[in-house]
């Protein structure tokens, strides 16, 4: 009697995954979309409310319950802003102060970051630690010594009193140091073999490579100092040296009884330059944020 033929057994493999139906996103994707939607509403909601209220008439701005969209859009609040304050002078003052601070921070942060990243000297680590420690000191603590120094230099109640003390930046130095540490050192070695000085190496090789990082420093500096209120309030006295945030306060009136539509119209006007800077600088901002993620 012949033995039964042996049939090879199939090796057990992993169970095939069920294919999801096309057009139905996964639960994780739906949860991520809902989270981003809530975050977008939380960020853009106040901005849209500000824009909507600035287009209302003064009587409609205090309607209860409030309406998100104005019944009859009205742009007279923007004309009232230009009538109540010297808008052109305020914008020019803010633009001059902010642009010079941003340019100064980009240059000084790049130079200081390059030194701390590429040059080794005695006490460099301690000095860099001191620079980082200044980030923990609030501006309210240093405003009195800064005011005394500015007054001693004869710059009290001038735009230079706002520009010069704000140019050194600890955060920008830290950011540019990390950026330079991510760049290859081969360029510096090749430049040294060709006889280039450290200044020539920095300005000819590493400064052009660090433009995305410098753009981040400039954009952050512009957004911060464009909306700055505390330092201009302390360091300037005459209205001809006021920046835009100080001028917008006068729209409320002496007792805070100004029209909310006029006040928010001024706020909308103040947001436009920062939005323009972000739109034109977002490419450099994106490159700077993603630098170092891939070689």
How far apart, in whole angstroms, are the C-alpha atoms of residue 58 and residue 52?
12
Q: How many CA atoms lie within 13 A of 92 on its CB side?
A: 6
CA distance 180 to 114: 6
Question: 3-state DSSP call for residue 162?
Answer: helix
| Dist. CA 261–CA 267, nearest whole Å | 10
**Which range has the top average pLDDT, 144-153, 203-212, 247-256?**
144-153
Q: Measure Cα distances from 48 to 54, 95, 151, 163, 183 in Å.
A: 10, 25, 42, 32, 41
Q: Decide: 58 and 75 in contact? Cβ < 8 Å.
A: no
Tell me the C-alpha distance between 118 and 46, whole Å: 44
End-to-end CA distance of the chain: 72
96 pLDDT higher than 50: yes
For residue 18, pLDDT beyond 70: no
How confident is residue 98, by pLDDT bands cut at 50, 70 and 90?
A: very high
- Which pLDDT score is estimated for 92? 93
Question: What mean pLDDT comes out for the span 176-195?
Answer: 83
How high is the pLDDT of residue 8? 52
Is 146 or 259 the better-scoring residue by pLDDT?
A: 146
Q: Which of 79-88, 168-177, 195-204, 278-287 has the lowest mean pLDDT?
A: 278-287
Helices (H) and strands (E) in the chain, counts: 14, 0
| 182, HSE (Cβ side, Cα atoms, 13 Å) | 18
Query: Given pLDDT bands bounded at 50, 70 and 90, which one contains residue 15?
Result: low
List the one residue out of 61, 42, 46, 45 whose CA is nearest residue 263. 61
Q: Is 190 in contact with 227 (CB distance < 8 Å)? A: no
Instruction: For 38-92, write each residue's pLDDT tens digit.
Output: 998 888 888 888 888 888 877 776 666 777 777 778 888 888 888 888 889 999 9
What pLDDT is recorded for position 93? 94
Instruction: Calculate the average pLDDT of the chain.
Output: 82
Lowest mean pLDDT among 3-12, 227-236, 284-293: 3-12
Distance CA 204, CA 264 (A): 46
Residue by residue, DSSP assigns 76-110 as HHHHHHHHHS-HHHHHHHHHHHHHHHHHHHHHHHH
pLDDT of 199 strictly over 50:
yes
Q: Cβ–Cβ contacts within 10 Å for residue 145, how many?
A: 10
Q: Mind listing the domains of the chain with CATH numbers?
A: 33-80 (no CATH), 87-293 (1.10.3720.10)
CA distance 98 to 92: 10
**What is the C-alpha separation between 148 and 238, in angstroms, rounded?**
18
């Amino acid at each position: 009697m012949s033995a039964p033929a042996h049939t090879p057994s199939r090796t057990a493999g992993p169970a095939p995954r069920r294919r999801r139906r096309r057009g139905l996103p996964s639960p994780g994707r739906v949860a991520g979309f809902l989270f981003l939607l809530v975050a977008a509403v939380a960020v853009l909601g106040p901005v849209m409310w500000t824009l909507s209220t600035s287009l209302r008439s003064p009587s409609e701005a205090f309607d209860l319950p409030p309406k998100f969209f104005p019944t009859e859009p009205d742009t007279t609040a923007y004309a009232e802003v230009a009538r109540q304050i010297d808008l052109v002078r305020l914008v020019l003052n803010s633009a001059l102060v902010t642009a010079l601070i941003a340019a100064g921070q980009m240059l000084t942060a790049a130079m200081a970051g390059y030194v701390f990243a590429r040059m080794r000297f005695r006490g460099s680590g301690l000095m860099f630690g001191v620079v980082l420690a200044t980030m923990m000191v609030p501006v309210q603590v240093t405003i009195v010594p800064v005011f005394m120094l500015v007054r001693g230099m004869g710059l009290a109640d001038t735009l230079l009193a706002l520009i010069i003390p704000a140019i050194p930046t600890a955060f920008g130095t830290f950011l540019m140091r990390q950026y330079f540490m991510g760049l290859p050192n081969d360029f510096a070695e090749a430049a040294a073999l060709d006889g280039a000085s450290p200044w020539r190496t920095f300005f000819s090789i590493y400064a052009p490579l660090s433009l995305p990082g410098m753009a981040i420093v400039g954009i952050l500096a512009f957004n911060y100092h464009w909306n700055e209120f505390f330092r201009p309030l302390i360091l300037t006295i005459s209205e001809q040296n006021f920046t835009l945030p100080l001028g917008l306060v006068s729209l409320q009136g002496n007792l805070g009884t100004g029209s909310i539509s006029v006040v928010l119209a001024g706020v909308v006007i103040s947001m436009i330059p920062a939005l323009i800077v972000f739109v034109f600088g977002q490419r450099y901002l994106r490159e700077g944020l993603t630098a170092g993620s891939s070689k």
